[in-house]
Amino acid sequence: MDRNQASRRAAALVAQMTVEEAASQLRFDAPAIHRLGIPAYNWWSEGLHGVARAGTATVFPQAIALGAAFDPALVEQVGRAVGLEARAKYNEASRQEDRDIYKGLTIWSPNVNLFRDPRWGRGHETYGEDPCLISRLGVAFIRGLQGDGEYLLTAACAKHFAVHSGPEGMRHYFDAQASLKDMWETYLPAFEACVKEGRVESVMGAYNRTNGQPCCAHSYLMEEVLRGQWGFEGHYVSDCWAIRDFHENHKITHRPEQSVTLALDRGCDLNCGCTYQRILDAYREGLLSEETIRRSARRLFTTRFLLGMFDQTDYDRIPYETVECPEHLELSRRAARESMVLLKNNGILPLDKTRLKTIGVIGPNADSRKALVGNYHGTASRYITVLEGIQDYVGQDARVLYSQGCHLYLDREEPLAQPDDRLSEAVTVAEHSDVVILCLGLDETLEGEEGDTGNSYASGDKPDISLPASQLRLLEAVQRTGKPFILCLMTGSAMDLTYAHRHAAAILQLWYPGAQGGREAARILFGQVSPSGKLPVTFYRDLSELPDFTDYQMTGRTYRYLTKEPLYPFGYGLTYSPCAVTALASEGPAFPELARQDLTLTVRARNQGAMATEEVLQIYVHVRGTEDETPNPRLAAFLRIRLEPGREDTFTIRVPASAFLTVDSQGVRSLRGTGADIYAGFGQPDRRTAQLLGRDCLRVTI
């Protein structure tokens, strides 16, 4: 069904409603209108990396891990799997007249905010710190969720619009100040791609204000940009209870009726929260017009018609057995394999289980299910932790000793014990082992959404980028034993790894790798597969260069504006078989024509090792002759490739014309400058990446 047809049907249905009935449909928990054959519908469903909060579902790696895979095709398949499972669960719930929260087809994902500061607790819900990466993966996930059939498989939602990435503890009253240059260069590109390329069906407004106006009633963002410049035709939803913040926290209105009026007038069609229960009060006071109410109702029912909720569709026959089916479980495992990033390896990896008698597995995340799943997750029928994955992999070939080592963040595990009550056991395990797998990190109780899980840090943000003190003591104690250890880090954000970099034999970043991620970690550790993930965020040495958390200027933030050398750069990651770009050539127009025509690159790459591996070919662009360019080259295109040992292959990669445009102080994106440098490699064209990989990118100039 095309949008015009769905819109006409929605208009005809809404015309039959009383104003009271139409107003009731603008709440996330919309009641039934029995006389018109409209069942109740709860709009709030989650599917960030699997159907969430609705019972059993395939639990894929967290979004930041999907970002580390640098694989749009994979992300689209994950989105498709989430959509199919949501349909399967919706079909059965509807058959049983279960219209509860989290059981619908309007999936409030993906989160395409930019991860600008490693302290932000919700950063692991995003795909990373780069607009190009976020855009490509966001569009891919949306296409997977929404499908390509006659009807929408599910309705995706790009959130949180816009200029939103913490602090969590201040979000209900915070005003993010961003220049037009930063908005159009950094904060808006992913949303633009989701709307114009992904045709996303809904957009969610953020809690905060941006440049003085609340994001759920923003004249510039919502009216001028979203519906005006970008031509968005779907519906707009508030973040949960964000409209209540208008009068309670932002203080831009005085009472709920004024907040309702402001939000609806600006085009916020759906309220996650309770404030739209006051719509009729605002209407009766003469603050809110009937047409404004009906306009939002028409948009919402257009979405419901596009989903086929009032028709028989092929999707009605998707069986419940689709949930956690073998194909989806294997896809989750593949995503975990592609996402893990090898940060350091002194040659100890891959391990050979036939040469090891005893393996020590130590750490609070070694046997933690929470550390597998991140936040906004579903429930798996089976979990495989890192400990279990290693035990299963080595079988009877080696003895596996285990110690939790410490509490995740408290100074003791048992309340009546003395501090560090698990530390001596961890030292014993290390001393009795040939090699130690040390599993440290965080989980959703230490980084997440404000108020979401009873976070130990209250807001969900991290106070700094250090591991909890209990884990640092464990790390130092294991190091002092002199036994070689491999750090497996399970976090959703960049941490301070300077001590680990000096002392660990190897470091493997696992992120939150999904319900069976421990199986894939073991396969990488023991060399059944080569690691191939790349960092979607910069790992800083410390926070000294970063501006204050509340400063939304991009100066000094992320790899594009960095002046200090990082510990591990964006785009970096090792494999077991080193690869190199051996030749680079460009085909296409001269620089002045690049505003209208894409550029094609031909890249030759060689696997210089003895093991088949996947790699991520990365293209960076830096425009010469204009002060509007970012300080450092920026990602323009990327391609996941596979190279057999000793093999050299040729690849073509398209660099979009938009990659050569720069943004001026007024937010205008256009072609400027005298030419461009184009870099191709398996990481950034920066000194630190070259030092870590032992090779530079190749460059062509146009």
Tokens of 289: 């017009």
What is the DSSP code (8-state) at residue 691? Answer: H
The distance in angstroms from the start CA to the end CA of the chain is 45
Q: Where are the alpha helices (DSSP H) in 546-633?
A: 558-561
Cα–Cα distance for residue pair 93/291, rounded to 1 Å: 34
Please say if 686 is a catalytic residue.
no
What is the pairing mode between strands 29-30 and 579-587?
Answer: unpaired
Catalytic residue selected from 182, 239, 269, 443: 239
Encode 86-122 in three state secondary structure.
HHHHHHHHHHCCCCCCCCCCEECCCECCCCCCCCCCC
Cα–Cα distance for residue pair 523/390, rounded to 1 Å: 8
Q: How far is CA 195 from the centre of its chain?
A: 17
Give the amino acid at 274.
Answer: C
What is the DSSP code (8-state) at residue 56? Answer: B
Question: Tokens 């289980």 sit at which residue?
Answer: 353
Burial class of residue 35 (count of CB atoms within 10 Å of its CB; 0-12, 13-18, 19+)? exposed
Q: Could you give the count of Cα atoms lying within 13 Å of 11 in the half-sphere of its Cβ?
A: 7
Angle formed at CA 150 by CA 145 and CA 152, multiple of 5 degrees: 30
Reported as type and span, the H/E element at residue 257 is helix 256-266
Cβ proximity of 537 and 557 under 8 Å:
no
Would you tell me how many other CB atoms lie within 10 Å of the CB of residue 489? Answer: 23
Sign of CA dihedral 539, 544, 545, 548: positive
Burial class of residue 463 (count of CB atoms within 10 Å of its CB; 0-12, 13-18, 19+)? exposed
Nearest to 292 by CA among 265, 274, 271: 265
**Partners of residue 437 on adjacent β-strands:** 361, 486
Positions annotated as catalytic residues are 239
